[in-house]
Structure 1
Amino acid sequence: MGGAFLAAAVLARLGGRIGLPTIPLFILAGILLGPHTPGFVLVADPHDLEMLSALGLVLLLFYLGLEFHLDDLKAGGRRMALAGTVYLVLNVGAGLGFGFALGWGTSEALVLAGVLGISSSAIVTKVLVDTRRLGNPETKPILGIIVVEDIFLALYLAALQPILSGADSFSAAAADGGKAFGFLLLLALAARFGTNVVGRLFATKDDELLVISFLGAAVLVAGVSEWFGVADAIGAFMVGLMLGSTTSGERIRQLVHPLRDAFGAIFFFAFGLSIAPGDLPVVLWPVLAAVVLTLLMNVLAGVGAARLYGFGPGPAANISTTLLARGEFALILATMAAGAGLDDRLSPFIAGYVLLLAVLGPMAAGRSHWLARVLPGGRSGPDGPGGPDTAQDTREGSPAGAAV
């Protein structure tokens, strides 16, 4: 574990000198020191870091929840839902069509629909933090899209599992989906009506007790969420949403920073451990085609979301590039596909696709003004309507932008 922390830190420091974002460097450290790359192997079994990796994902999404208030969600709930639906229709639909076009099989196409359709919540959160855009207006539709994706994710996994396992019981799939949706509804009601009670429970002047309390709550709810068939990340997000609106919210934001950064790095490092570079050449062309398709769909979805909110080309470019990366959910699908005995090309395809977008996503987000210039209404120069930002997040304590 110590070697993983240090390797990630060294590579990130070296890359930072030439302006590279930290996310792909953490992933690269995992690839270079993992079991699938010749040379020194620091971690022979990626499962050794599985719990730490899960904690990193939980803390990243918990922090994202802290940054937003319930009023932000209530004020634009309908537009957020519409933006998320448009994003899913474009990306999941394109992924399904791409899967059938490859001709690998119907089950494989259903898996690829999820792989190409769902953004990485962890990478999106890290990009927003690194680029200091948490306070930007266009971050609200980005948040809305992530929430809609997570709701879809719970239902999608519940429906996909019996298909991959060979079961044909629609009632079992419906029961799993209903259980997941019911728990999501319970979390939403708790966030809506339970904030005052939660605030009193967490009210303490002792930082030590506050850290133990919010960390325990985030991890516990994340674990219960997973048991109900809901992504653990969305459970942590909802806890952050509740605590961010309490009188202790600002202190929690400051106290969680070092935890988020440390375990977030381990999440991306562990992500790299699972990638086998030697398998990638076999699926090179399908991977490149899928990346191009995802780029196009994200631009269309970003422009559509921006128009819903009355934003210009700069925010549209930010939405498009921030949501580009694919990650933890795609790897879960790769594991499920391998266990179900699907096409052998599926796992290396997912690994290559995720790796490319994990690298391109943060880099594109840091240079979104290039895209803004070619969108309708854009013009040269970062200060015009095509500029990347409409408002920088200048709150005290915001980390330096590693991607810009």
Structure 2
Amino acid sequence: MGGAFLAAAVLARTGRRIGLPTIPLFILAGILLGPHTPGLVLVADPHDLEMLSLLGLVLLLFYLGLEFHVDDLKTGGRKMALAGGAYLALNVGAGLAFGFALGWGTSEALVLAGVLGISSSAIVTKVLVDTGRLGSPEAKPILGIIVVEDIFLALYLAALQPVISGADSFGEAAYDAGKAFGFLLLLAAAARWGTRVVDRLIATRDNELLVISFLGAAVLVAGVSEWFGVADAIGAFMVGLMLGGTSSGDRIRELVHPLRDAFGAIFFFAFGLSINPGDLPSVVGPVLVAVSLTVVMNVVAGMLAARIHRFGPRSAAGIATSLLARGEFALILATMAAAAGLDERLSPFIAGYVLILAVLGPLAAGRAEWLARVLPGGRAAAAEAADTTEAAAEAAPEPVGATRPGR
């Protein structure tokens, strides 16, 4: 574990010097030091870091919940649902069509619909933090789309499991979906009306006790969520949503930072351990097509979300690039597909697809202004912003003793 931390740190520090984001570098460290590449094998079995990796995911989504206030859900509920629904319709629909076009089978197409349709909550959260966009106008629609995706994710997993495993009991599938949805409603009600009670339970002046309390609550609810068929990440998110509105919310945000960063790095490192580069050449064609399709659908979805929220091309580009990455949900689906005995090409396809977008997503998010320039109205907005900046500079008072050009 110590070697994993240090390897991720050294590679990320080196990459930062040339302007690369940390996420793909953490993943690359896992690939290079894992069991599937020659040379030094730091971790022979990726499952050795499984619990630490899950803790990283829980903390990333817990922090996301802390930043996403209940008031944001109440005031932007309709717009959030419209933007999230549009994003899912475009990306899941494109993924389903792509799956059927490949001809690998109906169950495989349903898996690919989920793989192509759902963003990586963990990577999106890290991107928002790294690029300093948590306070930007487009952060709310981005976080809103993630919430809608996570709700859809819980129901999709519950419905998909009996389908790909060959179960023919509709009643059992309906029961699982109903159980997951009921637990989601319970968490939402607790976040909406239980803040005062939670505040009394968790309030303390002792930082040590506060850390133990919020960490225990996040991990416990994440585990219970998984038992009910809801993604553990959404359980942690809801706990963060509750605690963010308490009197201890600001202190919790400060105290969780080092935990989030450390175990988040292990999450991405462990993700890299699971990728076998040798399996990728056999599916390189479908992977590149899927990546291109996802980029196009994200640009369209970003423009729709920006229009719903009455934002301009810069925000549209920010939404499109921030939501581009795919990650943990795709890997969950790959595991389910392998256990169900589906087409063996699915696992390397998902690994290659996720790897490319996990690298491309953060890079694109850091350069969203390039996309903004080519979107409708982007050049005009950039010119207007430049004129405004120039006018402000001309209107600024001259320093004492300054000499105008030409005098």
Fold shared, TM-score > 0.5 on shorter chain: yes
| Deviation digits for residues 121-172 of structure 1 (CA, Å, limit 9, x no counterpart) | 0000000000000011111111111111111111111111111111111111
The change in CA–CA distance for 1:221 and 1:289 in structure 2 (over 3 A counts) is same
| Deviation digits for residues 96-127 of structure 1 (CA, Å, limit 9, x no counterpart) | 00000011111110000000000000000000
Task: Confirm or deny: 8 A CA contact 1:313 1:385 kept in the other structure.
Answer: no
1:73 is displaced (CA, Å) by: 1.1
| Deviation digits for residues 242-291 of structure 1 (CA, Å, limit 9, x no counterpart) | 11111100000000000000000000000000000001010001000000
Structure 1 gaps of 5+ residues are 387-404
CA distance in 2, matches of 1:33, 1:385: 46
SS in 2 for 1:379: helix
CA distance in 1, matches of 2:366, 2:383: 15
CA distance in 2, matches of 1:74, 1:248: 21
Task: Confirm or deny: 8 A CA contact 1:369 1:382 kept in the other structure.
Answer: no
| Deviation digits for residues 1-20 of structure 1 (CA, Å, limit 9, x no counterpart) | 00000000000000000000
1:69 is displaced (CA, Å) by: 1.3
Listed as ranges, the matches of 1:182-331 within 5 Å are 182-331=182-331
CA distance in 1, matches of 2:50, 2:127: 22
1:370 is displaced (CA, Å) by: 0.3
Moved more, 156-165 or 309-318: 156-165
| Deviation digits for residues 293-314 of structure 1 (CA, Å, limit 9, x no counterpart) | 0000000100000000000000
Letter matched to residue 82 of structure 2:
L
TM-score normalized by the length of structure 2: 0.93
| 2:397 alignment partner in structure 1 | none
1:385 is displaced (CA, Å) by: 6.0
| Deviation digits for residues 216-245 of structure 1 (CA, Å, limit 9, x no counterpart) | 000000000010010111111111111111
CA distance in 1, matches of 2:166, 2:274: 26
- The reply on whether 1:349 has 2:329 as its aligned counterpart is no
Listed as ranges, the matches of 1:1-400 within 5 Å are 1-379=1-379
Letter matched to residue 233 of structure 2:
A
| 2:389 alignment partner in structure 1 | none
The change in CA–CA distance for 1:291 and 1:95 in structure 2 (over 3 A counts) is same
| Deviation digits for residues 340-382 of structure 1 (CA, Å, limit 9, x no counterpart) | 1111111000000000000000000000000000111101796
CA distance in 2, matches of 1:134, 1:291: 26
CA distance in 1, matches of 2:295, 2:149: 18
1:339 is displaced (CA, Å) by: 1.0
CA distance in 2, matches of 1:384, 1:222: 47
Letter matched to residue 182 of structure 2:
G
How many percent of aligned residue pairs carry the same amino acid? Answer: 84
1:292 is displaced (CA, Å) by: 0.2
CA distance in 2, matches of 1:315, 1:276: 36
CA distance in 1, matches of 2:357, 2:4: 22
Higher Cα Rg: structure 1 or 2?
2
| 1:396 alignment partner in structure 2 | none
Q: How many corresponding residue pairs?
A: 386
Structure 2 gaps of 5+ residues are 387-407
| Deviation digits for residues 65-105 of structure 1 (CA, Å, limit 9, x no counterpart) | 11121111110001101110100000000000000001111
CA distance in 2, matches of 1:371, 1:255: 36
| 2:402 alignment partner in structure 1 | none
CA distance in 2, matches of 1:165, 1:343: 13
| 2:400 alignment partner in structure 1 | none
Letter matched to residue 316 of structure 1:
A
